[in-house]
Amino acid sequence: MSGRTTVVGIRQGNLRGVTDGGVKAYRGIPYAAPPVGRLRFRPPAEHPGWPGVRDATAPGPSVPQGPGRLAPVMGARTPDWDEDGCLNLNVWTPADAAEGQRPRPVLLWFHGGGFTSGSGGWDWYDGSRLAAAGDIVVVTANYRIGPLGHLHLPETGADNLGARDQAAALHWVRENAGAFGGDPARITVGGQSAGAYSALALALDPATGPLIHQLILQSGPWSLLPQAPEDAAHAANRYLGLLGIERDEHLAKSLRDVPAVDLLDAFARLAAELARPGDAAPPLYPVLGGAGYPRPWPDAVADGALAGKRVLIGRTEHEATAFLGPDAPADLVAAVTQAAFGAGVDTLAAACAAHGTPAHVYRFARASTAVPGLGAPHCADLPFAFDHLDAYATAPMLGPVDAGDRALARAFSGALAAFTATGDPGWPAHRPGGAPHVETFTRD
């Protein structure tokens, strides 16, 4: 990103960002101490701060991870991970936001990746156009994934660490939004896939729910309930066995001593060992009863835990082709899409309406122009959500784009931005006793 530099001060120190096109960007900001050494497999700790002015003109590293499962659909990424400094976030804010008297609404957005891959710093999730579209502050954040984020060893402090990171990022936004011209009382939390699942968990958890004003839930894997503790314990034991580590009084130190690349290699072997036909669940993911997940989401939502929080929720038309392949039978794609994604959308929208909470439902249906058999697969809405089509130039789920696609990107990102800003994306909310209005986004 080119442009003139700009400096902002927060409690931990000063940050140098860049202004470009009417938006200020501050990237790679640590929201917690590096989770290395004695802090590996421990809850996030407060960052001690820094002297002088910290450069925030480029993204920080991603969390250690292997290749993304959906690389054949989304396109491959060049590895950019580093465990030291991976707990970072990025802020885009209107250039005049911090200078005026009108604080802007804030969107804190979490990437997907099946709790095993992804980074909020990737150009896929550049928030500059989204911030400009709604005159809002946009924040994207990393969180620990794979074994570093979801290995279940409570005796070492490893208890839903990825969820704990997300809660720490939310608290950081609450504390620091004002420095960037944001309104800490109007925080929308959103995400896609595992990020949507995480956003809902934050809203339902009594410890973090009061900090959240609204939700944007894109293609959440709603059929996936939190992992049962006994299953998580079994997976943890299998993983330790692959590492050759005993579950004894030296466990924490033994895990700290393993190079990150070896942790990832053992995780890949664990995934292969635990894989079951037709089961898309990752080997390690949030555990029921652990930090951030006190109850299954259907129970909490049915009891009105989202009352008072507006919700924007939707899915793509052919989610399942990302997992089944472009040649899968249409009836199978429709059935798996509905079971894994669509049924949860229906349940959430109906529960919100029953408790007097507006829920706006959408369907994203723009089909791939590179691999027509993919239709509109899981993740197909992401280039349009951020109005950043060029970042997905090699993505089979996108393909060649034209002026109509760019207009669709402006419309879809504009709806997300408008919802963040006003609570109204531009179409009716679901009402009790009737089928929800579903706004479809596709090419004209």
Please give the positions annotated as active site. 193, 319, 378
The span from the CA of 366 to the CA of 399, in Å, is 11
Dist CA 130 CA 413 (whole Å): 6
Who contacts 275 (Cβ-Cβ below 8 Å, separation ≥6)? none
Q: Which residues contact 155 (CB under 8 A, 6 or more apart)?
A: 251
Q: For strands 88-94 and 53-55, give the pairing.
A: unpaired
Report the distance separating Cα 429 and Cα 358, nearest Å.
5
Which amino acid does the sequence have at 334? A
Beta bridge partners of residue 25, listed in sequence order: 18, 92
Per DSSP, 428 falls in state P
| Partner residues linked to 311 by β-bridges | 215, 359
Tokens of 288: 């029921």
Phi and psi at residue 74, to the nearest 5°: -90, -20
**Interatomic CA distance for residues 306 and 209, integer angstroms:** 9
